[in-house]
Structure 1
Amino acid sequence: MMKFINKNKHETISVCIPTYNSSDTIVGTLKSVLNQSLKDFDLIVVDDASKDDTINKIKNIKDARIRIFHNKKNIGCGKNLQKCKDKARGDIVVFLAGDDLFDRLALEKILNAFEVSKDVGVVIRPYFWFIGNNLSPVRVTRQFKKNTIVNIKSDFNKIIDVISLSDQMSGVSFRKKYLNFPFDNQPFVEMSSAVMKIIKDHKAIILKDNILGVRIGNNGSMNPNVYRNSPMNVWKDTLYSVFYENKHQKLKEYILKNFIAINYVGLIQIKNYGTLPQLLREINYLIKFRWINVFNYKFLFYVFVSLVTPKNILIKLVDVYKKKINSKIINKINFDPGFEI
């Protein structure tokens, strides 16, 4: 079994927090970083022209490790991630959204993972979703029994694990010297495209522990403008652009059919916050990319529900399902942000 022991005291960490209108949550997010068991780190906040009180909330927290940068105009998620990375001083760059929370051992576990090998380019984690200030999980990603090393020669399903866990920026960590390319500014794949590029040439480690809690709130996926381009097609184009070589043909096809084209629950998101033409387009891509979906009962169920249920009712049903059902059946997550929220 792989042992995670920090033998090299010289590698340093930069925690990068890109923010936009995060005044309601940023204080808690910063507390979860400042209360880490690992105390020696650089903390950068790059605000993307927020219209609320985010900057003042940050300035009220007096800690010498915090450096604040403010964009005069909104530059978008991908470009803001790039600015965060450019401002980072550490060898390891750890990203955290302005409304999410770290477990107090998060940075320690991330750093120990990178110390396994100098060829580790990215460390990724499972996580859970929570609502408001209640840390009871209402949804969880796939869980893992042990820390796992993955590279481009690994089983395709292991590579899918790495890519699928990069759908949220928070808790995705890179060895900075390997981030020698700009972040994609395309919605949905800003972080995933970077992870794909890293895993082509370097190792990834999936942590077994849920070091991250993702707060469900008014985020970018609730903005209808992000669905102008099909999320599924954006993922597909990114996949084929990164793994463009013929030697990766089987990998591309496998990921497309066994990850991208089985995201049936995405139809609910588009129905709730997009338009009917955007929903029909996504259904079409689900069939185009994986025609056997037409025989899949889950696909048919989500198509039926998304087409038949009125938007206002479906939004309420999703909320009730998360709070009243999922929260009761999901196992307790061992998670301590280091303070009372």
Structure 2
Amino acid sequence: MLKKPIISICIPTYNRDDKVIELVNSILQYKGDEIEVLVLDNSSTDETNSLFNKIVDNRLSYVRNNENIGGIKNVFKALVIANGEYCFLCLDKDRIKFERIGDLLDNIKSSDVLFGHCVLNAAEKKTDIFFEKGFPSVYNMSYLAAHPSGMFYKTEALKNLPVLNQIFNENKKFGFYAELINAEMSVLGKSKIINIPAFFTETKEDCGKIRSFTYTNENEIFFFPSKRSEEFLIYSENLYSLNLTLKEKNRVLKKIFLKGLLATTVDFKSILNDISICDHYFIATRKVSLLELIKNDILFCKNFIKSDLPLSVFFKFYICVISNMKIICAMIYNKLKK
């Protein structure tokens, strides 16, 4: 690499030689030298290593772990070893439109934000959306359980975050550590959503063909109710450690509680009816009964009420009741529309 790149496109990979080599070859069609394409191979057992050893391009940094460190840690290691001023994340199963890399560079050069994300699967370029440091960024850019491709960070700011120690020292199968990073970045500086059609997720058809390497059994999969409850409590504990006012923290909590409650009920039912998603995680599709949804709802609320969060029991009950009322009203409205 001849000079410090403006952006590093960080691609963590494991045993997807055909996908990752196609992705990288596509990106390298961009002719500029202001990018780094960093591939972190999590000790793949397929042809990944031999294929990358054949590529001669000083913009490519191929790094191979001596041993498999786990998919989640591999993602964040890829970001922190980046050499670019900004590091962009792209999963090996997704793709980047190389014709738009120039637009990304122009966009990020004129930016003073610490982090953000690119709209996925965008059809056309639109105006970016900015959020100020503190509450606006936390509320709009954190705890979203978003797909990680397209997320980007100011590399030096990312490397200094305390939450990275938690990520590398824990051995949890928690897939949304990026949301904790986003929250901590939010109190340090501005954020934005880049509306450029550059990042695209794998198709639903491809999703069903390829099995997830991150989750190996049903009890670990992020969209099951027990994991959604755990996810919400991790978010909440992180939220109340941030440098925000109590009123601001409570506003964010109401939002992420409602989102979590929806995820453990309505969204859970929808996912278990989706063949492509279930095939990807190697589970059977099935119908989720109304009784099961009610049980999931009660368990989610119960875990929240019993938690050690610095909130009164009355306030916790209030959030549970209001959130359930919103979900019921939305379900009635959608049924009447049909």
TM-score clears 0.5 = yes
Match of 1:88, SS state, is coil
Instruction: Give distance in 2, aligned partners of 1:86 and 1:164.
Output: 21
The Cα of 1:213 is off from its aligned counterpart by: 0.8
Tell me, yes or no, if the aligned pair for 2:173 and 2:220 is still in contact at 8 Å: no
Tell me, yes or no, if the aligned pair for 1:147 and 1:206 is still in contact at 8 Å: yes
Q: 1:21 and 1:285, CA in 2 relative to 1: closer, same or farther beyond 3 A? A: farther
Q: Which moved more, 1:55-64 or 1:283-292?
A: 283-292
Aligned letter for 2:186?
I
Instruction: Give distance in 1, aligned partners of 2:333 and 2:301.
Output: 11
The Cα of 1:151 is off from its aligned counterpart by: 2.7
- Counterpart of 2:267 in structure 1 is 265
- Counterpart of 1:173 in structure 2 is 152
Q: 1:165 and 1:63, CA in 2 relative to 1: closer, same or farther beyond 3 A? A: farther
Tell me, yes or no, if the aligned pair for 2:138 and 2:182 is still in contact at 8 Å: no
Structure 2, gaps ≥5 residues long: 303-319
- Counterpart of 1:187 in structure 2 is 174
Q: 1:22 and 1:298, CA in 2 relative to 1: closer, same or farther beyond 3 A? A: farther
Tell me, yes or no, if the aligned pair for 2:232 and 2:257 is still in contact at 8 Å: no
Give the RMSD, CA atoms, in angstroms. Answer: 3.7
Instruction: Give distance in 2, aligned partners of 1:220 and 1:234.
Output: 21
The Cα of 1:287 is off from its aligned counterpart by: 5.8
Q: Which moved more, 1:96-105 or 1:267-276?
A: 267-276
Instruction: Give distance in 2, aligned partners of 1:85 and 1:107.
Output: 18
Does residue 71 in structure 1 map to residue 65 in structure 2?
yes
Q: 1:145 and 1:41, CA in 2 relative to 1: closer, same or farther beyond 3 A? A: closer
Q: 1:214-253 maps to which residues of 2 (within 5 A)?
A: 214-216=201-203, 217=207, 218=210, 219=212, 223=216, 224-227=218-221, 230-244=226-240, 245=242, 247=246, 248-253=248-253
Aligned letter for 2:75?
L
- Counterpart of 2:315 in structure 1 is none
Instruction: Give distance in 2, aligned partners of 1:270 and 1:178.
Output: 39
Q: 1:74 and 1:298, CA in 2 relative to 1: closer, same or farther beyond 3 A? A: farther
Q: 1:174 and 1:225, CA in 2 relative to 1: closer, same or farther beyond 3 A? A: same
**Identity across the alignment (%):** 17
Tell me, yes or no, if the aligned pair for 1:26 and 1:58 is still in contact at 8 Å: no
Instruction: Give distance in 2, aligned partners of 1:32 and 1:204.
Output: 28
Match of 1:259, SS state, is helix
Structure 1, gaps ≥5 residues long: 1-8, 129-139, 303-341
User: Of residues 21, 30, 33 in structure 1, which corresponds to 2:24?
Assistant: 30
TM-score, with length taken from structure 1:
0.68
The Cα of 1:212 is off from its aligned counterpart by: 0.9
The Cα of 1:161 is off from its aligned counterpart by: 4.6
Tell me, yes or no, if the aligned pair for 1:124 and 1:166 is still in contact at 8 Å: no
The Cα of 1:101 is off from its aligned counterpart by: 0.8
- Counterpart of 1:151 in structure 2 is 132
Instruction: Give distance in 2, aligned partners of 1:11 and 1:36.
Output: 14
